Amino acid sequence: MSTENTARTTTRLPAGHSARVPSVTGSAVFAGCPELIGTPFSYAREEEIYGEGEEAEFVYKVVEGAVRTHKVLSDGRRQITGFHLPGDLFGFGQGETHRQTAEALADTHVLIFRRRQIERAASGSAAVACQLWTMATNDLRHAQDLTLLLGRRSATERVASFLMEVDERLGATGTFTLPMTRRDIADYLGLTIETVSRTLSQLEEEGALLRAGGRQVSLRRARLRRVVED
Amino acid sequence: MSTENTARTTTRLPAGHSARVPSVTGSAVFAGCPELIGTPFSYAREEEIYGEGEEAEFVYKVVEGAVRTHKVLSDGRRQITGFHLPGDLFGFGQGETHRQTAEALADTHVLIFRRRQIERAASGSAAVACQLWTMATNDLRHAQDLTLLLGRRSATERVASFLMEVDERLGATGTFTLPMTRRDIADYLGLTIETVSRTLSQLEEEGALLRAGGRQVSLRRARLRRVVED
DNA sequence: CGGGTGGTTGATAATTCTCAATTGTTGTGG
DNA sequence: CCACAACAATTGAGAATTATCAACCACCCG
């Protein structure tokens, strides 16, 4: 099995972050499709990767860093639909144009693939197409969970649920540094930054978590779970 | 529940009755896959088609009527994630279990397909798999639009946007009868029935629509569009 | 007719937002 | 290493939006 290793030839690896680098492999799109090799590429913190409405030329896989995708209304209101961490693929809803904007949360390394190439691979291989179907389905599941969160949960439940989600995706250690600002969290949870901040303070006061320096949190998972209770 | 009083036992349908039904066409799953023939089936108004957590044995295509899919929290809060009208496929997120509940809004005829059969067809035909990918992507797009609606739009915008969505899916005539109750609308838009009702009254007052008998509406689309403005 | 469901409206409460001030954090140049 | 600017996060007070509780109305269907 060609466990892609060469991928991060892209110079610096800020080994500062946790010693994880989990299954960046996965490489779902490529299973049984070795001719689909991604090209390494990098984006700086806060750099736009693609914009809503632009032609969808590439599909991306996060290698290192983090990306957010969002939609905006004309008056500036923003809704983040997802955060993409190492191993995640994004930008692959097959239409001619992107329906969201993607931006790097931090300095980020990705592998890029030509959309047409992937579509060609899909139409030639049921296995590849099924993997794309599976990935789209996973995204759909996530979007529907978010829908329930936004439509029917209180601010406290949203924040608690968010913290647990991030924890799981970052290794489920219960202690981590949030890779996004309060604004990003607010725009993901359909709240304001003030409400997010107050809710975090309240959760800390209730003993559901501990904080250090704004971004670092340590979850008391049992208590948080009780807050979410579903 | 107590509403379950009318001939619910007749879920089994004399085959052939609804086999012809009009231009339901679309039939995306079947294009180039003639061996995938659905079996006609019927559900009475308010009848459950499948429940969250159940094994996903079938996939459904609406022929006549309307279906809603939703998620519920343990305390009863409900979020409807979609309404399915004639031509729509639902229940096809390929996992072993359904992640939502599906219920008939009205007396409904569907075609059912065995999930395994569809998955087999997909893994044998890139064309079929691509169609499933496309359908999942369309659902994903819808879910993300709903996410923006729930996370960042006011009650007025939600209701106006909803009316335009229903209008389009019902033929874009501007005049139609809502196929769902206020409760369903509220649970789709993340509001209460009272807020939905008040918002409709307010929109009528502003001349953005006309109403007759609760469910019938006639949209002044230009004005509604101005309310939504994006 | 009468009961039941569905829909509307009003008064009040709760949640979340907005505006404003303050504190904390981080990176930079002296 | 410190001072400082720029940005990020917190906190408070009051306002706005939406929810809740309650009453009432209008059908529809037997």
- Bigger pLDDT: B141 vs A95: B141
DSSP state of A8: G
Q: Which of A126, A152, A153 sits opposite B125 (nearest CB)?
A: A126
pTM of the model: 0.87
- Is the Cβ of A96 closer than 8 Å to some Cβ of chain B? no
pLDDT band at residue A30 under the 50/70/90 scheme: low
Architecture per CATH, domain B153-229, reads as Orthogonal Bundle (1.10)
CB B165 within 8 A of CB B189: no
Q: How confident is the model at residue A6 (pLDDT cuts 50, 70, 90)?
A: very low
From-to residues of CATH 2.60.120.10 in chain A: 3-127
Is the per-residue pLDDT at A38 higher than 70? Answer: yes
Tell me the one-letter amino acid at A30.
Answer: F
CATH 2.60.120.10 fits B3-127, yes or no: yes
pLDDT for position A8:
34
At B122 the pLDDT is 92
The boundaries of every CATH 1.10.10.10 domain in chain A are: 153-229
Q: Which of these, A197, A195, A196, A200, lies nearest to A219 by C-alpha position?
A: A200
- Other CB atoms closer than 10 Å to residue B156's CB: what's the count? 18
- The string of pLDDT tens digits covering residues A109-139 is 999 999 999 999 999 999 999 999 999 999 9
Of the pLDDT bands very low, low, confident and very high (cuts 50, 70, 90), residue A229 is confident
Which chain B residues in 27-46 lie under 8 Å from chain A, judged by CB atoms? Answer: none
Which of A32-46, A167-181, B53-67 is least confident? A32-46
Q: Which residues of A touch B31 (CB under 8 A)?
A: none
- Taking Cα atoms as reference points, which of A116, A59, A94, A101 lies closest to residue B135? A94
Tell me which of B94 and A197 has the higher pLDDT.
A197
Rounded CA-CA distance B11/B76 in Å is: 27
Distance separating alpha carbons of residues B218 and A136, to the nearest angstrom: 36
Q: Judge residue B4's burial from the number of C-beta atoms within 10 Å of its C-beta, 0-12 exposed, 13-18 middle, 19 or more buried.
A: exposed
- Measure in Å the smallest separation between the Cα of B77 and chain A Cα atoms: 6
